[in-house]
Amino acid sequence: MYLVPPPLEKGDAIRIIAPCGAFDRERFMQGVEILRARGYDVRYDDGVFARHRYLADDDERRRRELEAALVEPNVKAVWEG
Q: Indicate yes or no: pTM above 0.85.
A: no
Residue 18 is assigned to a structural domain of this protein: yes
- Residue 23 has a pLDDT of 77
Residue 3 is assigned to a structural domain of this protein: no
In angstroms, the CA 43 to CA 55 distance is 21
Query: Which range has the worst mean pLDDT, 12-16, 17-21, 65-69?
Result: 17-21
Count each helix (H run) and each strand (E run) in the chain, helices first: 2, 3
Write the pLDDT tens digit of every residue in 29-76. Answer: 999 999 999 999 999 988 888 777 777 777 888 888 899 999 999 999
- Residue 70 has a pLDDT of 93
Residue 7 is assigned to a structural domain of this protein: no
Residue 2 is assigned to a structural domain of this protein: no
Residue 32 is assigned to a structural domain of this protein: yes
Give residue 64's domain range. 13-80
Domain with residue 45: its CATH number is: 3.40.50.10740
Residue 5 is assigned to a structural domain of this protein: no
Residue 4 is assigned to a structural domain of this protein: no
